[in-house]
Structure 1
Amino acid sequence: MSAVTSQTFFSAFFKTLGVLFFYIFFGLLIDSVFMVENYQDLQWFANWLMVVIFSITFFKGSPRIKEQMLYIVLIAIIVEYTFSIGTGMYTYRLENVPHYIPMGHALVYAAVIYFTKTPYAKNNKRFLEKVFTLLIIVIATTFLIFKNDVFGFVLTIATLLILRKKPRERMFYLTMFIAVSYLEIVGTAFECWWWPTTAWDNIPFLPSANPPSGISFFYFGFDLVTLWLYKKRHKIAWRRMKNIRKMRLQTLKIVN
Structure 2
Amino acid sequence: MLRHFPPVNGAYAHGKRDYFIAAFTFFCVAVCLVTDSNATLEKQNALGVCGWVFLTGLLLGENKEVRMQVIIAIIFATIGEHFASPFMGGYTYRFGNVPAYVPPGHGMVYLTAVALGRSGLFLRYAREIAVFVVLVCGAWSAWGISGYAEQGDYVGALLFCVFLIYLFKGRSPMVYLAAFFITTWLEIIGTAVGTWKWAAIDPVLHLPQGNPPSGVAAWYCLVDAVAMGGAAPLLRALKTVSTRIKPAKSRESAYQGASNE
Q: Same fold (TM over 0.5)?
A: yes
Q: 15, 35, 39: which one pairs with 1:5? A: 15
TM-score normalized by the length of structure 1: 0.77
Which of 171, 174, 179 is the matching residue for 1:176?
A: 179
Listed as ranges, the matches of 1:18-167 within 5 Å are: 18-33=23-38, 35=39, 42-144=43-145, 145-146=148-149, 147-166=151-170
What's the CA shift for 1:69? Answer: 1.2
Counterparts of 2:160 and 2:131 in 1: how far apart (Å)?
A: 15
Q: Is the CA contact 2:156–2:213 (under 8 Å) kept in the aligned structure 1?
A: yes
Q: What do the CA deviations read for 1:85-141 (whole angstroms, capped 9, x no partner)?
A: 222221111111111101111111101111111122212222221122222223323
CA contact (8 A) 1:32 1:192 kept: yes
User: Matches of 1:133 and 1:84 in 2, distance apart?
Assistant: 28
Instruction: Verify the 8 A CA contact 2:118 2:174 in the aligned structure 1.
Output: no
What RMSD in Å do the two structures reach over aligned CA positions?
2.5
Q: Secondary structure at the match of 2:169?
A: coil
TM-score normalized by the length of structure 2: 0.76
Unaligned runs of 5+ in 2: 1-11, 238-261
Q: What is the one-letter code of the residue matched to 1:23?
A: C
Amino acid in structure 1 at the alignment position of 2:160: T
Per-residue CA shift, 1:179-215, capped at 9, x if unaligned?
A: 2111111111121111110112x644x1111111112
Aligned position for 2:234: 233
Look up the SS of the partner of 1:198 in the other structure: coil
**Counterpart-to-counterpart distance in 2, 1:60 and 1:109:** 15
Counterparts in 2 of 1:99 and 1:61: CA distance versus 1, 3 Å: same
Partner of 1:194: 197
Flag structure 1 segments of 5+ consecutive residues without an equivalent. 237-256
Shift of 1:29: 1.3
Q: Quick check: 82-91 or 41-50, which moved more?
A: 41-50
When Rg is computed on C-alpha atoms for both structures, the one with the higher figure is 2
Contact 2:166-2:221 within 8 A present in 1 as well: no
Distance change >3 Å, CA 20–CA 139, structure 1 → 2: farther
- Distance 1:41-1:32 versus aligned 2 partners, 3 A rule: farther
The correspondence of residues 200-219 of structure 1 with structure 2, limited to 5 A, is: 200=203, 203-204=205-206, 206-219=207-220
